[in-house]
Amino acid sequence: MMGSAAAGAAFPLAAAIALVGSFLLVSRLERLAARWGLSEAMLGLLVALGADSPEITSAVTASAHGQDAIGAGVVLGSNVFNLAALLGLSALVASHIRLQRRGVLFEGTAGCWVAVVILVVMVARLTAGLGLALVAVVVGPYLLILALPAGALRKCGVPVRAAQWLGGAVAEEERELAGAIRPAPPGRLDGAVAAGSMAVVVGASIVMERAAEALGRHFGLSSLVIGGVVLAAVTSLPNAVGAVYLSSRGRGAAVLSEAMNSNMINTVVGLLLPGVFFGLGATGVDSWLVAGWYAALTVLSLALAFAGRGLSRPAGTVIVAGYATFVLVALTR
């Protein structure tokens, strides 16, 4: 068991190492995806998976050690933080994030569905397997639409107008991602660097989770604060930095895609898949609180984006204030 002094030194060091490792991992994944000829949308998904590796590893580590509340808190708290940082903070920095309503509906449908499903899973105490099946109802077709060429949708039986609408939404996202993600030329060592970086991120995230748990015990912090606030925010910093950068370049669709896809990956890979093997544990009021805030802030953010054809500074302020209220509630429980 890690002592409080050792944990105090290990936590910031592990966090810094995880951030550096995440940057190397994402940059090499970009190069590999370019070499494999993946579409821009699929490249965005792959990059989001790499950027999500710290929170996913921390959540799985906590669940594997029987700390179900911390594991769920890391995933769901990261999702709440992502909405505040990737959408709210980005809107404040960029003054206005322009979005097409078609893109908001396309990305938002999958994002809202995942958020609502995980809330139902937590409150109704459904199994992780059933949660995965419910998520797949919408996320499966969403991924298929991203992967298929526009003309292939009609061959799959999709009505012409629907296929044109979906193809247009994906094309808009592709154009923005093409300008936002510009990987360097592939190198011979990209695969090795990516594998090494992944190992570093996993190791650092494990240390970070164990250190945070030790510090939480020392200072008497709740599992909600340790997982849902501290670990969630620290492990989500790579995504936040990327979103602010994209928003400053006017890449609204890329920012929205990163936010929704990151939260989807967190939920599926960081919570539901481990839950199939380790179980979701006993869900309680804290888990319901974080899941409810995640669902509510998702709906609010997307409603503001749809109504305003993007996110203005006032809208960003509302989203950030929603997260600040969540942190205040967590600290005072």
Of 151, 213, 187, 170, give the one whose Cα is nearest residue 32: 187
Mean pLDDT of the chain: 81
CA dist., res. 220 & res. 108, Å (int)? 38
pLDDT of residue 66 exceeding 60? yes
> 258 near 85, Cβ under 8 Å?
no
Of 70, 57, 59, give the one whose Cα is nearest residue 216: 70
pLDDT band (50, 70, 90) for residue 301:
very high
Mean pLDDT, to the nearest integer, of 39-68? Answer: 72
pLDDT score at 183:
57
pLDDT score at 259:
85
The distance from CA 203 to its chain's CA centroid, rounded to whole angstroms, is: 20
Strand ranges inside the chain, DSSP E: 96-98, 310-312
Of 82, 73, 76, 98, give the one whose Cα is nearest residue 226: 73
- Three-state DSSP class for residue 148: coil
> 69 near 225, Cβ under 8 Å?
no
Query: What distances in angstroms separate CA 271 from CA 77, 84, 197, 222, 315, one per listed residue?
Result: 12, 20, 22, 20, 29
pLDDT band (50, 70, 90) for residue 297:
very high
CA dist., res. 186 & res. 32, Å (int)? 7
pTM value?
Answer: 0.82
pLDDT of residue 213 exceeding 90? no
Other CB atoms within 10 Å distance of the CB of residue 76: 32
pLDDT score at 150:
59
Mean pLDDT, to the nearest integer, of 318-329? Answer: 94
Q: What is the pLDDT of residues 7-18, one digit of tens each?
A: 888 888 988 888
CA dist., res. 275 & res. 109, Å (int)? 24
More confident of the two residues 236 and 181: 236
pLDDT score at 23:
76
* Phi/psi at 98 (5° precision): -80, 135
End-to-end Cα distance, the chain: 26
Q: What is the pLDDT of residues 147-194, one digit of tens each?
A: 776 566 666 666 667 766 676 666 666 665 555 555 566 667 888 888
More confident of the two residues 179 and 313: 313
Which range has highest mean pLDDT (124-133, 153-162, 227-236, 283-292)? 124-133
Percent of the chain residues past pLDDT 90, beyond the cut = 21
pLDDT band (50, 70, 90) for residue 112:
very high
Helix (H) or strand (E) segment spanning residue 158: none
pLDDT score at 6:
85
Partnered with residue 311 across adjacent β-strands are 97
pLDDT band (50, 70, 90) for residue 317:
very high
pLDDT score at 49:
73
* Phi/psi at 96 (5° precision): -160, 130
Instruction: Kindly provide the b/e burial profile for residues 148-174, where b requires at least 16 CB atoms within 10 angstroms of the residue's own CB.
Output: beeeebeeeebeeeebebbbebbebbb
pLDDT score at 117:
95
Of 70, 124, 66, 128, give the one whose Cα is nearest residue 292: 124
DSSP label of 250 = T
Angle CA 39–233–139, to nearest 5? 35
pLDDT score at 199:
85
pLDDT score at 109:
92
Other CB atoms within 10 Å distance of the CB of residue 308: 18
**What domains lie within the chain, and their CATH numbers?**
4-332 (1.20.1420.30)
> 154 near 141, Cβ under 8 Å?
no
> 85 near 298, Cβ under 8 Å?
no
More confident of the two residues 38 and 114: 114
CA dist., res. 131 & res. 122, Å (int)? 10
> 61 near 205, Cβ under 8 Å?
yes
Helix (H) or strand (E) segment spanning residue 303: helix 285-307
pLDDT of residue 246 exceeding 80? no
Q: What is the pLDDT of residues 130-143, one digit of tens each?
A: 999 999 999 988 88
pLDDT score at 40:
55
pLDDT band (50, 70, 90) for residue 296:
very high
Other CB atoms within 10 Å distance of the CB of residue 286: 21
More confident of the two residues 330 and 3: 330
Which range has highest mean pLDDT (35-49, 156-170, 200-214)? 200-214
